[in-house]
Amino acid sequence: MDSSMTVGVVGAGTMGSGIAQVAAQAGHPVVLYDTRLEALDKAKAALAKVMGRLVEKGNLDREEAEAIQGRITYATGLEAFIGSGLVIEAIVEDLQVKQD
């Protein structure tokens, strides 16, 4: 998969934010989408915490951690997926939510 391909992730919970992190670490621009702004804020804070720990342990340098975080765009509108080469659904296992 070409690292310039944008990866979209639907759902900013634990699974979705983890997928976004892995894709961003692999060099992909990422769009992390959720209908709840608070879920996006929580995902962004969790990623910053993980990146901070990786820097402290010497697994990443600060510039690399900042670049990874900078590759993730947080969105509440589906139009953010325009141009994405891959979109991964990672929302709660609730059929009604998935159909909405």
Domain contains 47: yes
pLDDT score for 96: 62
Helix (H, G, I), strand (E, B) or coil at 6: coil
- pLDDT tens digits for 28-85? 999 999 999 999 999 999 999 999 999 999 999 999 999 999 999 999 999 999 999 9
Site of tokens 């990672």: 90
pTM recorded for the entire structure: 0.88
Domain contains 58: yes
Q: Per DSSP, what are the bridge partners of residue 96?
A: none
Angle at 43 between CA 23 and CA 1, to 5 degrees: 10
**Structural domain that includes position 46:** 13-91
pLDDT score for 99: 55
Contact 8, 24 (CB under 8 A): no
User: Is pLDDT at 92 greater than 80 in this prediction?
Assistant: no
Domain contains 18: yes
CATH number, domain containing residue 42: 3.40.50.720
Total number of domains constituting the chain = 1
